[in-house]
Amino acid sequence: MKRNHNRMSEINASGETGETHVCEDPAHPVAVVVVVLVVIKSEGVNGRPDANLKLLYGDNMCVGPLKKLCHWGPLSSLAMIKFITLMTIHCSRQWWPPQDSILAAASFLLFFILSGLTLFHFISAIVEGPGYLTLKWMPEKATDIQYLQYCIVCQGYKAPRSHHCRKCNRCVMKMDHHCPWINTCVGHYNHGHFTAFLASAIGGCSVSFIILTSWITTVLSLKPLPFPPPEFYTIILVVFSIGASVGVVLAVGMLLSVQILAILRNRTEIEDWILQKSQCWRNDTDAKYIHPYSKGWLFNISQVLTWDCTPVGDGITWPVIDGCDQYTLTREQLAQKLDKRKKARIYRIVKAASGSKFPIGHGFGVFFHPLCTDESRIKLDVNDIVIVTRWKKYWLFGRKEQKEEEDGKSKCIRGWFPRPCAVEVIEKSVRLG
């Protein structure tokens, strides 16, 4: 039986159904086809919608699997896709009408297919989701918890290759990074769709660039036009589309190269960082950390890039190389965490921090040296205690100490704050628990 496609944790075994309504957009027929395909793809056996989605979202698709579209990132991406597509179709029908020749029809069809694939894989990456660990997740063997990190927010242990995303507020299976353009993480279940989306976007924009530049060259030439002279605003829109196409090819091309390299190595962005830290902190020791998941580039590719972009495995248990086991990575993480805690220092807040990325009340040094990171800035009050693990000239990174709430849960508050806000507490020692 085909697996469920939204890997949220609270799975409803009853599998109740709910209607799905798709709004048609006459200005972009590709969008209608793609959304219908994605909705069909997310249904279970015998046309019954995924019970997981039913439990989480009910019958209203506006807050269902497409909820994450309601964000500046996906909306900007959709607007760009639609704009380039419409301008390219308009110019193609004037410059090289598909009914004129087989080559013209093939060119038009190629762009139409690439545009459809871009939209399909984009929406699929959002609807699929990266895959989230069950809340309060535990390994099958209770003795294995000694090799795993505990997530305070999710109240459970982190499976191998899983990491907690502060934006999604969940532990993500094989988390690579949180992508604002799809408003979700790139992880185990949507890595294939995300990579296919990037490749399709580059292919589509490359074809678009050829068509648009050919159209603008024809318009600006001194020869008689084979189509009615365009309005001035149309020329401006085409020039903007050419710039957008070039920008997509360059920017997305760099991101695609990073993703292809990650797939070939079977190593996520976070695991790259873990490997770099292991080489640094183990530099003076004989012990060496070996990344356990890379079993050759052909095998690595087959784990992610399948015909339907369905990944291999359940996102918890992974094939490993000889000499390693399921917890080789997690043991290295625990060792690095312990080393970081040993080097941590306790600071007391002497001036309130607003949590702003550009604070103006802590001196020119802080204001004119903003952090180039999407990590959070935390709000702190006077006399708050923070365990600091990273230091910069004008900023500190740490975790705020706070009491456990009555229900046993406690929100982990950590991030950057201005260095002038705090002073180090010498007489205390950092808790390692």
- Beta strand pairing status for 177-179 and 422-424? unpaired
Burial string for 129-141 (b: 16+ CB within 10 Å, else e) reads bbbbbbeebebee
DSSP state of 346: E
The token pair that represents 248 in the structure block: 């997509």
Cα-Cα-Cα-Cα dihedral sign, residues 86, 88, 92, 95:
positive
The answer to whether 167 touches 308, Cβ cutoff 8 Å, is: no
Cα–Cα distance, 382 to 161 (Å, whole number): 37
Q: Who contacts 212 (Cβ-Cβ below 8 Å, separation ≥6)?
A: 87, 88, 91, 238, 241, 242, 245
Picking from 27, 28, 87, 80, the residue whose alpha carbon sits closest to that of residue 209 is 87
Question: CB atoms < 10 A from the CB of 290, how many?
Answer: 14
Active-site annotation holds for 372: no
Question: CB atoms < 10 A from the CB of 428, how many?
Answer: 12
Give one DSSP letter per residue of 224-268, joined into a string. Answer: PPSSPPPPHHHHHHHHHHHHHHHHHHHHHHHHHHHHHHHHHHT--
Cα–Cα distance, 29 to 405 (Å, whole number): 52
**In three state form, how does the secondary structure of 264-297 look?**
HHCCCHHHHHHHHHHHHHCCCCCCCCCCCCCCCH
- Specify the length of the chain in residues: 433
Cα–Cα distance, 197 to 273 (Å, whole number): 25
Question: What is the distance in angstroms between the CA of the first residue and the CA of the last residue of the chain?
Answer: 43
**Which of 91, 151, 171, 179 is labelled catalytic?**
179
Task: Please give the positions annotated as active site.
Answer: 179
